[in-house]
């Protein structure tokens, strides 16, 4: 596989990363290590590792090397479901409020906040809404109001240590609608304040487009397809959508992507 200069091995690894078995990577390192300075070789194998990960060897590569550190200690994955119909009803009201606390170092889920919310302006869910979200009337009847749920979110944030100024966390949504339109719009309608931690977020669609070079027109479905991931649960279930967002983030992080805030400061 290698001539006296080691160049054939280098060419094989560089051009055939998708076909090169990850379990041979360490053997290749040993074969060419006497021929190159350590720093050069480590840089080269780092590139090969990323190439392998981009061709579906993410899990194998994760076991072999850690991914770059993120800018945040925690990512708070959020995906609202709201009252809806065709034509659209106004105002829309949040009826499912899920948050997953994702560790920025391991990209694993550490804690979950999940509540259903009683709509007050249009308390009766439409058939369209139930068909789209899977949320039936009995799941929202008698549930806390949005104001009460927001109070419980704040309690959960405090319990999880997320209100500590030394802890860096940021919300992550699939699009800008949840925190740019839905929450501030309903809070304004009800005369409720919007906590500062809801005013900065990462739009996963933008992050994915930066990482992969294409815009996911169909949201989570396109992102899962682009990363060869299985879709988790039911589309338009808030908690299931959060799990898909977390899975996509974990996959991108293992490929070396660093997540950054995409929203403009309020």
* 122 is known as an active-site residue: no
What is the rounded CA–CA span in Å between residue 244 and residue 224?
8
Half-sphere exposure of 20 (CA within 13 A, CB side): 25
Taking CA atoms, 89 is separated from 85, 93, 246, in Å, by 6, 9, 30
Q: Has 14 been annotated as catalytic?
A: no
Give me the catalytic one of 93, 96, 160, 236.
236
Alpha helix (H) residue ranges in 78-217: 127-133, 137-140, 146-159, 183-190, 204-212
Please name the residues in contact with 187: beta carbons below 8 A apart, sequence gap of 6 or more: 146, 193, 194
Which listed residue (42, 81, 110, 231) is catalytic?
A: 81
Say how far apart CA 184 and CA 62 lie, in whole Å.
39
11 to each of 17, 30, 230, 245, 255, how far by Cα in Å?
Answer: 10, 16, 33, 36, 22
SS3 215: coil
Kind and range of the H or E run holding 116? strand 109-116
41: helix, coil or strand?
helix
Between the alpha carbon of residue 3 and those of residues 6, 13, 22, 42, 202, the distances in Å are 5, 14, 21, 20, 48
Bridge partners, residue 109, by sequence:
102
Number of CB atoms found within 10 A of residue 51's CB: 18
Active site residues: 81, 236
């Amino acid at each position: 596989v290698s001539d006296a200069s080691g160049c054939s091995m280098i060419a094989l690894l560089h051009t055939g990363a998708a076909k090169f078995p990850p379990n041979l990577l360490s053997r290749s390192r040993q074969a060419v290590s006497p021929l190159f300075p350590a720093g050069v070789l480590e840089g080269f194998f780092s590139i090969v590792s990323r190439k392998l990960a981009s061709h579906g060897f993410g899990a194998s590569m994760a076991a072999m090397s850690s991914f770059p550190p993120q800018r945040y200690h925690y990512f708070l994955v959020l995906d609202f479901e709201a009252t809806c119909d065709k034509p659209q009803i106004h105002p829309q009201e949040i009826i499912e409020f899920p948050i997953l606390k994702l560790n920025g170092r391991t990209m694993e889920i550490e804690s979950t906040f999940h509540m259903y919310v009683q709509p007050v302006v249009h308390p009766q869910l439409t058939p369209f809404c139930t068909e789209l979200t899977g949320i039936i009337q009995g799941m929202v009847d008698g549930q806390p109001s949005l104001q009460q749920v927001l109070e419980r979110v704040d309690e959960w944030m405090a319990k999880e240590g997320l209100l500590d100024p030394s802890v860096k966390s940021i919300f992550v949504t699939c699009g800008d609608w949840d925190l740019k339109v839905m929450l501030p719009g309903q809070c304004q309608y009800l005369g409720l304040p919007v906590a500062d931690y809801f005013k900065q977020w990462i739009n996963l669609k933008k992050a994915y487009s930066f990482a992969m070079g294409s815009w996911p027109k169909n949201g989570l479905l396109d992102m899962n397809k682009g990363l060869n991931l299985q879709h988790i649960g039911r589309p338009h279930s808030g908690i299931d959508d959060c799990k898909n967002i977390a899975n996509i983030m974990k996959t991108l992080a293992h490929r070396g992507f660093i997540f950054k805030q995409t929203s403009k400061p309020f």
